[in-house]
Copies of this chain bind each other. A is one copy, B any other.
Amino acid sequence: MGTELTSDLPSERARHVLRILVEHYIREGQPVGSRTLSLTAGLDLSPATIRNVMADLEDLGFIAAPHTSAGRIPTAKGYRFFVDTLVRLQPMAEPDVVRLQGQLEDRFRGDAKAIASAASSALSALTSLAGVVTIPRQQKATLRHIEFLPLSGRRVLAILVVNDAEVQNRILDMDRDYTEEELRRAANYLNEQFTGRDLSEVRTRLRANLDGTREYMNRLMLDSIAGHAPKAGTESAGYVLSGETKLMNFQELSDVEKIRQLFEAFGEQREILTLLDRSVAAQGVQIFIGEESGYRILDDCTIVTAPYTVGDQIVGVLGVIGPTRMAYERVIPIVEVTARLLGAALNSDPNAGPDFGLRPDLNSGS
């Protein structure tokens, strides 16, 4: 074994053994020994030879032994190499794809959260892992109607109807009091000028007018449609999680204390959310294995994510959380397809999504 040992990469044969080992471990959940590999690898090698190969793989850090005489299990590095170069992806079964598509479109009439929930549940059901979907931020919002109401203390209530039937409202703190008449004029102006226009367009046009005579009104109107900027949606809530109890079925996570910490992390949301945000950057499926996430709590977990798009805009991220020992060859395609289908479902009808910033309310839709 002189030749390979000098390299950082395992030999062809070692790669094959590693793949079989990882696959076997994912399937059985037990450390894999040389005898087993010798029998199942299809290489016609004796256990002793396999042991040599395994020793090499261990030196390279791809596998490790929990203790003497217990076979080997993949390390995070091993899983990483596996998903990067060894895994043989299993396309989703066609019926599953169709069903998934149906589920996402069925729910489509609901608000964004309902759709995200549906996707999350579907992910969880398909993978038997925890599904997680960030609530989509919509980038297209067409102004339908706007209304202002004066409140006490220099505050104004703005009510926007966008995308046909979606109502948003926000309370504006103003510099001075406005009369009902003033507010009505402002609303009329906006409704006349901008009904049917995209909010971003409204925003730019208003901003262009800012120097003109109607300055103070512009301020009011600008404020009323602000908060639709991309930043919103991150502050509160953020994602939908489902099927987290499924994680308890894995022995690796059957330690009560571990589960507790994991669930607490889910409740905290912070870590998970920044992790999901990280994968907005990348195109396509991204995978965080064990320590790679950088969060101690997730050391035994892998997160598989994919952003989903409307048009060519990324509007959210979805994925699953499970033990490092998950069925990558099935999970990766599922996450990939779900992201694509969710994007497609959101795309097919502009009526549905909510806008960012403001969340769907209790009475509509749901």
Q: Measuring CB to CB, which residues of chain A are less than 8 angstroms from any residue of chain B? A: 113, 135, 144-145, 147, 149, 151-152, 155, 157, 159, 161, 164-165, 167-171, 227, 232-233, 236-237, 242, 244-245, 248-249, 254, 256-257, 259-260, 263-264, 267, 352, 358-366
Contact = CB atoms under 8 A, between A and B. Distances in A.
A263 B130 CA distance: 13
Q: Of A151, A359, A362, which is in contact with the most chain B CB atoms at under 10 Å from its CB?
A: A362
Contacts of A155: 165
A260 B245 contact: yes
Contact of A236 (B169, B171, B236, B364): B364
B161 A165 contact: no
Given A144-B149, A170-B364, A248-B257, 14 more contacts: A113-B366, A145-B147, A152-B352, A157-B161, A168-B361, A168-B363, A171-B364, A171-B365, A236-B365, A248-B260, A358-B362, A359-B363, A359-B365, A361-B362
A359 B257 CA distance: 36
A242 to B, nearest CB: 8
21 contacts: A113-B365, A135-B365, A145-B149, A147-B147, A147-B159, A159-B159, A167-B361, A169-B361, A170-B363, A171-B363, A171-B365, A227-B363, A236-B364, A237-B365, A245-B264, A248-B256, A358-B365, A359-B363, A359-B366, A360-B365, A361-B361
Contacts of A164: 151-152
Contacts of A237: 365-366
Which 10 pairs show the lowest CB-CB distances between chains A and B? A359-B365, A167-B169, A248-B260, A361-B362, A237-B365, A168-B363, A245-B263, A254-B256, A170-B363, A245-B260
A366 B234 CA distance: 12
A205 B152 CA distance: 28
Contacts of A147: 145, 147, 159
Contacts of A168: 361-363
Contacts of A249: 260
List the number of copies, as a whole number: 2
A366 B362 CA distance: 11
B236 A362 contact: yes
A111 to B, nearest CB: 9
Contacts of A365: 113, 135, 171, 236-237, 358-360
A354 to B, nearest CB: 9
A351 to B, nearest CB: 8
Contacts of A260: 245, 248-249
A157 B167 contact: yes
A99 B263 CA distance: 27
A361 B249 CA distance: 35
A271 to B, nearest CB: 15
A250 to B, nearest CB: 10
B171 A165 contact: yes
Nearest to A235: B366
A365 B362 CA distance: 10
Nearest to A362: B361
Q: Of A164, A256, A264, A358, which is in contact with the most chain B CB atoms at under 10 Å from its CB?
A: A256
A231 to B, nearest CB: 12
A159 B147 CA distance: 10
Given A352-B152, A363-B358, A259 B248 contact: yes
